[in-house]
Chains A and B, each alone.
Chain A
Amino acid sequence: MSNSSSQNSAKAQKARPKNLNLLTIRLPINALVSILHRATGCVLFFILPVVLLLLQWSLSSALRFETVVAILHSPLIKLMLLGLAWAFFHHFFAGIRHLAMDVHWMTTLMKARYTSKVVLVLGAIATLVLAIKLWL
């Protein structure tokens, strides 16, 4: 790259408006599904030690098993469990969508928007089914 053109591009970059205000950025539905895939992935990473701990306790003795079940049945924990389950469902369905696109399925913008909606709806349905199972 010549010196003058790099100067020009530097100028152009300076002039380019920047908008990184998260409250005013409008997320297209594909971007929403994508960032939620990342966010839910992080959340799921953070609960790994809890999962292992609960598994260890629940398998160690009948008494501890009952304790774990009691903990998981308390209303607030149940609500958290539902939130985490949604995180899992979303990550699962959005992941399947990624795999589909990796084999060049549903890759046009219109189809990608459609599958984004499908991912969100499937996540909501799965969470709803679990909620019914947990509270009814």
Chain B
Amino acid sequence: MLIELLTKRYPGMRAWLTQRLSGLVMAIYSVLAVGRFLVLQPTYYEAWVDFFKPWWWRLASLLFWISLSIHVWLGIRDVFKDYVPNANLRAILVKLLLVLLWLYMAWATWLLLG
């Protein structure tokens, strides 16, 4: 497969491509979310609950959050790489970030599917 060929020859390409694809997924979801919000105008509680009721919207939202987690992981890790020269401190920060993102992921999954 093209992606495999690409990532095997150039290891950094996997992260690069993943960052782009996750960004694209989030961009599409964002446009859909704003569109849905403008059409449905959920200004009261029942309408707001209905906004998140369809299974496909919950699934899309979950897909959004998965993409977001990956995107944040790659992005903030790059920020740490650039601005935290101390390797030990950076290793701690990166681990903290990972724990935080998994917690958010669990939280989001519980909200959307629970």
Q: Are B111 and A52 in contact (CB under 8 A)?
A: yes
* CB of A25, distance to nearest CB on chain B (Å): 16
Q: What range describes how many residues of B lie at the interface?
A: 20 to 34
A98: chain B residues at CB < 8 Å are 20, 23
Contact with B along A39-77 (1 / 0, CB 8 A): 001100100110010011011011001100000000000
* CB of A4, distance to nearest CB on chain B (Å): 30
Whose C-beta in chain B lies nearest to the C-beta of A69?
Answer: B43
Q: Is the interface of B mostly helix, strand, loop or mixed?
A: helix
A96: chain B residues at CB < 8 Å are 27
A65: chain B residues at CB < 8 Å are 44-45, 48
Is residue B18 within 8 Å, beta carbon to beta carbon, of the partner chain?
no
Is residue B35 within 8 Å, beta carbon to beta carbon, of the partner chain?
no
Q: Are B30 and A62 in contact (CB under 8 A)?
A: no
Q: What range describes how many residues of A lie at the interface?
A: 20 to 34
* CB of A110, distance to nearest CB on chain B (Å): 24
Q: Is the interface of A mostly helix, strand, loop or mixed?
A: helix
Q: Are B45 and A66 in contact (CB under 8 A)?
A: yes
Contact with B along A94-110 (1 / 0, CB 8 A): 01101100100000000
Whose C-beta in chain A lies nearest to the C-beta of B38?
Answer: A133
Q: A49-B104, A65-B45, A65-B48 are in contact. Are A56 and B76 (CB under 8 A)?
A: no
Is residue B108 within 8 Å, beta carbon to beta carbon, of the partner chain?
yes
Q: Are B72 and A45 in contact (CB under 8 A)?
A: yes
Contact with A along B85-105 (1 / 0, CB 8 A): 000000000000000000010
Q: Which residues of B contact A (CB under 8 A)?
A: 20, 23-24, 27, 30, 44-46, 48-49, 52, 68, 72, 75-76, 79, 104, 107-108, 111
Pairs across A and B, CB under 8 Å, 27 listed: A38-B75, A41-B75, A41-B79, A42-B76, A45-B72, A48-B68, A48-B72, A48-B104, A49-B104, A52-B104, A52-B111, A55-B111, A58-B48, A59-B49, A59-B52, A59-B111, A62-B45, A65-B44, A65-B45, A66-B45, A92-B27, A95-B23, A95-B27, A98-B20, A99-B23, A99-B24, A102-B20
